[in-house]
Amino acid sequence: METVVKFICQNGQEVTLRPAAPEDARQIIDTINSVAQERSYILTDKFKKSEIEERDYIATLDTEKNLLLVAEVDGQVIGGLGAHQASSGRHFKTAHVCEVGLHLIKPYREQGIGSKMLEYAIEWAKAKGYKKLDACIFTSNKRSLNLFRKFGFVVEGKRMKQFRIGNEYIDEVIMGKIL
Ligand SMILES: CC(C)(COP(=O)(O)OP(=O)(O)OC[C@H]1O[C@@H](n2cnc3c(N)ncnc32)[C@H](O)[C@@H]1OP(=O)(O)O)[C@@H](O)C(=O)NCCC(=O)NCCS
C-alpha cells in the first residue's frame, strides 16, 4: 500500500496522511493536548511524555506492528491516528489484535478526514497480517461511534460508568472489526 496519501477534504484543502517522523513530536503533542482540553473525547487530560521522549518513541517504534499516522495541512499536523498491537505484543493470544484511536483538532472535523485516516489504518492492519481491529469510545461520542460503524466495526460490549468527566460518569463502548 502507499504510505503517503494525499486528498482534497470537503473544505477544498489538501490533506496529507503519512507515518509520523520524530520531528513531528512537538506538533503531535500540541494536537493531542488541544483535543484533551475539550475533555469530551479522549482519555488523556494532558500528554504525559516530553517532546524528547515522544521523539524517541517515534524513532524506535516497531512499524511492522504499530502505526503512528499524522494528518497534515500546509505542513501543520492537524491530527493523528495510533494503531498498536494489543498488550504491546506481549501475549501470543492477543498478537493478532490491533487497537486503534484517532483525533483531529476542532477546525478539521466533519470534512471526511477521519474517514480517510481510518480507511488507511484498516488497509495497513490487513497488510500487516492483523485479524482484528479494536476501538474504545465514550458512549457520548456519537460522531466517533458513527465513524467506526461506517467502516464495519460492531459494538461488542459496554463498560458502565468507565469514565468520569467532571461529575458525570460515562459508559465506554467497545467496538471491533474482523479483518
Ligand atoms: C471522531 C473524528 C476522528 C471523526 O473524524 P471526522 O473527520 O470528523 O469524521 P468524518 O467527516 O470522516 O465523518 C465520519 C462519519 O462520522 C459521522 N458523523 C459526522 N459528523 C457527525 C455528527 N455531527 N454527528 C454524528 N455523526 C457524525 C458520519 O457517519 C460520518 O460519515 P458520513 O459523512 O459518510 O456520513 C473527529 O471528529 C475527531 O477527532 N473528534 C474529536 C476526537 C475524537 O472523538 N476522537 C475519537 C476518540 S474514540
Structural domains of the chain, count: 1
CA distance 159 to 169: 11
Show the ligand 1 pocket: residues with CB < 6 angstroms: 35, 41-42, 101-104, 109-115, 137, 141-144, 146-147, 150
Strand 5-8 versus strand 154-165 pairing type: unpaired
Whether residue 124 lies inside any domain: the answer is yes
Residue 2 or 20, more confident? 20
Provide mean pLDDT across the span 138-163: 97
Whether residue 16 lies inside any domain: the answer is yes
Whether residue 148 lies inside any domain: the answer is no
* pTM check: above 0.95: yes
Q: Is 30 strand, coil or helix?
A: helix
Q: Read off the pLDDT of residues 5-48 as tens digits, 9 standing for 90 and up.
A: 999 999 999 999 999 999 999 999 999 999 999 988 999 989 99
| H-run or E-run covering 171 | strand 168-178
Whether residue 74 lies inside any domain: the answer is yes
Whether residue 157 lies inside any domain: the answer is no
Whether residue 15 lies inside any domain: the answer is yes
Q: Read off the pLDDT of residues 64-86 as tens digits, 9 standing for 90 and up.
A: 999 999 999 999 999 999 999 99
* DSSP tag of 106: G
Q: Transcribe 123-154 into DSSP letters.
A: HHHHHTT--EEEEEEETT-HHHHHHHHHTT-E
CA distances from 108 to 14, 31, 137, 141, 168 (A): 12, 11, 20, 17, 27
Whether residue 70 lies inside any domain: the answer is yes
Whether residue 48 lies inside any domain: the answer is yes
The residue type at 21: A
- To test the pocket of ligand 1, the residue of 9, 13, 110 to mutate (highest count of ligand atoms within 8 Å of its CB) is 110
CATH number at residue 51: 3.40.630.30
Provide mean pLDDT across the span 131-144: 97
Segments forming the whole domain that contains residue 73: 5-130
CA distances from 87 to 7, 59, 63, 161 (A): 33, 20, 16, 23
Atom 44, ligand 1: residue with shortest CA distance: 41
